[in-house]
Structure 1
Amino acid sequence: MSPTIFYGQTGKFTFRMLATVLGGQSICILLGALVARAIAAADEGSRSGTAYLVVGLGLGALCIVAAGLMRRPWGVTLGWVVQALTLLSALVVPMMFVVGLFFLALWVTCLVKGAKVDAEMARREAAAGTGEAGAGAGDAADRVDG
C-alpha cells in the first residue's frame, strides 16, 4: 500500500497529524486573505478587495472543515483539494506559493510518516494482544533505547 493516498481511511495518528497541518494552514490562509484585500485596496482602480477577502475566508473555513473531516475516507481528498487551492491562491498573492509549498510538504510528510507510525502502533498492539512472552521485555527495552 502506498503511504501517499488520495482517498481512504488513515490511521488515528495520521489523521490527527493531517488535521493539525490543516489547522495551521487555515491561519496562514486567513492572513493571506487579509493581505490580498490590502493589496487590492492599495490599487486605486481595483474593486476586488472584498471578493479576495471573502474567497480567502472561504478557503480558510474549508481548511477547518477538512481538518474536522479527516476521519472520513473523503477527508483526505478534501485535504488534497485544499492543498491545490492554496497553491492557486498564489495567483493573487505570489508569496502564497511559498506557503502552499510549505504546507504541501508538511501534508505529504504527515501522510508518509503517519502511515509508518500507525503501522508500528498496530504491530505493537497485535504483539501485545497475542501475549507474546518476550513482548513486555522488548517494549521496555525499546522505551529505554529509543
Structure 2
Amino acid sequence: MTSLPLYGRQGKFTFRLLAIALFGQAIILSFFALVARGNAIAAGRPEDGDRLMWVGLGLSLLALVAAGLMRTPVGITLGWVVQALTWASAALVTAMIGVAIVFTVLWVLLLVQGAKADRIIAERQAPDAV
C-alpha cells in the first residue's frame, strides 16, 4: 500500500468520494455544535454554549470549504485539517470522539479505495499496448 496523500490532486472518483464525505461530516458537525450549545446552557453556562456553537459551526464551514476545494491540490490538506480538528474538538465535547472515529476511518477508506478505483478506470481507458 502506498502512503496516504497529504497534498496534491486526486483522481476524479477519489475527490468526489472525499467531497461527499466532508459534506456529510459538515452536517454532523453542525448538529453537534447545536447539541454542545444546548448542553452548556442546560448546565448553566450560556456563554460557553455560544462559544461552543460558533466553534462547531466554524469547523462545519471549514469542512464545506474543504469539500468545495477537493479538486485542487490543497483540498486534501484541508480535509486532513478537518479530521484533526474534529479529533481536537473532543476536548470540548467528549461525544465528538465517536464522530472523529467514524469520519477518520471513512476518510482513510475512501482515500485508499478511491485511488484503487481511479487506477482501475485509468487501466480500462488506456489503449491496449499490444
TM over 0.5: yes
> Percent identical across equivalent pairs?
51
In structure 2, how many angstroms separate the alpha carbons of the residues matched to 1:49 and 1:126? Answer: 55
Partner of 2:60: 60
The CA distance in 2 between the partners of 1:52 and 1:122, in whole Å, is: 45
Q: Please give the residue correspondences for 1:118-129 in structure 2 after superposition, counting only pairs within 5 Å.
A: 118-127=118-127
1:32 is aligned to 32
In structure 1, stretches of 5+ residues that fail to align are 133-146
Secondary structure at 1:4's aligned position in 2?
Answer: coil
- Could you say which residue in structure 2 is the equivalent of 1:18? 18
1:48-103 per-residue CA deviation (whole Å, 9 max, x = no partner) reads: 11111111111111111100000111110000000011111111211111111100
Distance 1:25 1:45, change over 3 A: closer
> Using a 3 Å threshold, how does the CA distance of structure 1 residues 105 and 45 change in structure 2: closer, same or farther?
closer
2:108 maps to which residue? 108
Q: Distance in 2 between matches of 1:82 and 1:2?
A: 22
The answer for unaligned runs of 5 or more in structure 2 is none
| 3-state secondary structure, aligned to 1:10 | coil
Query: Which whole-Å CA distance do the structure 2 matches of 1:67 and 1:47 have between them?
Result: 31
Q: What TM-score do you get using the length of structure 1 for normalisation?
A: 0.84
- 3-state SS of paired residue (2:115): helix
Change (3 A) 1:120 1:87: same
**Residue equivalent to 2:71:** 71
How many matched pairs? Answer: 130
Query: Separation in 2 of the partners of 1:2 and 1:131?
Result: 25
Aligned to 1:139: none
CA distance in 2 between partners of 1:93 and 1:63 (Å): 18
The corresponding residue for 1:90 is 90
